[in-house]
Amino acid sequence: MKKAKSQPVAREIFGLNVRRARRFKEISQEELAFQAEISRNYLSDVERGVRNVSIDNMEALSKALGINLADLLKPDLFAMNADDLKE
């Protein structure tokens, strides 16, 4: 029997929403990282949901994107297929 897919954790939801918002605004990872004063590698990890991002960096990213931090934690913020968002 196959294991049921678990619900995404908050960091995965946050990362996916950051990626979707960045792409919607047509901002590169380099530009967003610069605006949020974090490294591009750190941002990449955040977007992939593998980095346990700090509250301070979550706030910096939300400000750089111009999106409320609470909104970036909503699972249904963007109605896009995750497969369409892969780089």
Number of CB atoms found within 10 A of residue 82's CB: 12
Q: Is the pLDDT at 82 greater than 60, yes or no?
A: no
- pLDDT mean over 38-46: 98
Element (H, E) at 67: none
Neighbouring CB atoms inside 10 A of 36's CB total 21
pLDDT in tens, 6-27: 667 899 999 999 999 999 999 9
Q: For the residues 52-70, what does the mean pLDDT come to?
A: 96
Instruction: Tokens for 69, please give them.
Output: 């931090």
Say what the pLDDT of residue 69 is: 95
For domain 10-73, the CATH architecture is Orthogonal Bundle (1.10)
Alpha helices, H only, the chain = 10-24, 29-36, 40-47, 55-65
Q: How confident is the model at residue 76 (pLDDT cuts 50, 70, 90)?
A: confident
